[in-house]
Structure 1
């Protein structure tokens, strides 16, 4: 499975077909900044047992991840959000671990795209 869905990225490209406005690069750079911030918030919330904080960070990251084609990360955000909402707190740590690993993969993929 690719880290970033080519079809989602192509959708962004159609909004700036010539690339003159550097829309894709700006969106990816903004996403990367928010990814780091939200992952720190999730980690802090997890460390303090703040399930609502974990859910909020996952919820916030879910749609922005989907919009840049990080579909697996978006799916994991949804799973974390649902587990917290349903009170399945025993499942949350493993899901967050998986989400964090995928977030690192997405971060590397975004960084590679920004560098090219």
Structure 2
């Protein structure tokens, strides 16, 4: 599965207590920030900018994990670690998987928000 439902269910439980659209807002905030970070990761790999790679992968790692996109978070962790070495060597090998996993996670989150609460 693309998403671990645990983190999303925790948000749903909080939402039930708060009586609002917390899950939709949290996923919406992710959709607002994640595409720019994904683009920044891809650009950093293309330009060989290790600092930019680590700086973009780090927040995406955390936000993806918080929504249950654990495979994407793991790829971000690997890309961040590569960037922290001061090089982008090996990052291009992960880029295709990273981009396709982001697309899968995004679609799964879109479907998740369409489910009845």
Length-normalised TM-score, structure 2: 0.87
Structure with the higher fraction of residues in helix conformation: 2
Query: What is the distance in 1 between the residues matched to 2:36 and 2:18?
Result: 27
Across the two proteins, how many residue pairs are aligned to each other? 115
Length-normalised TM-score, structure 1: 0.88
Query: What is the distance in 1 between the residues matched to 2:29 and 2:84?
Result: 28
Query: What is the distance in 1 between the residues matched to 2:92 and 2:78?
Result: 12
Query: What is the distance in 2 between the residues matched to 1:22 and 1:64?
Result: 18
The equivalent of 1:91 in structure 2 is 90
Segments of 5+ residues of structure 2 without an aligned counterpart are none
Contact 1:32 1:110 in 2 (8 A): no
Contact 1:3 1:109 in 2 (8 A): yes
The equivalent of 1:11 in structure 2 is 10
Contact 2:50 2:82 in 1 (8 A): no
Superposed CA offset, 1:42-92 (max 9, x none): 122222221211111111101111101011111111111112223563311
Backbone CA RMSD of aligned residues: 1.7
Query: What is the distance in 2 between the residues matched to 1:84 and 1:48?
Result: 12
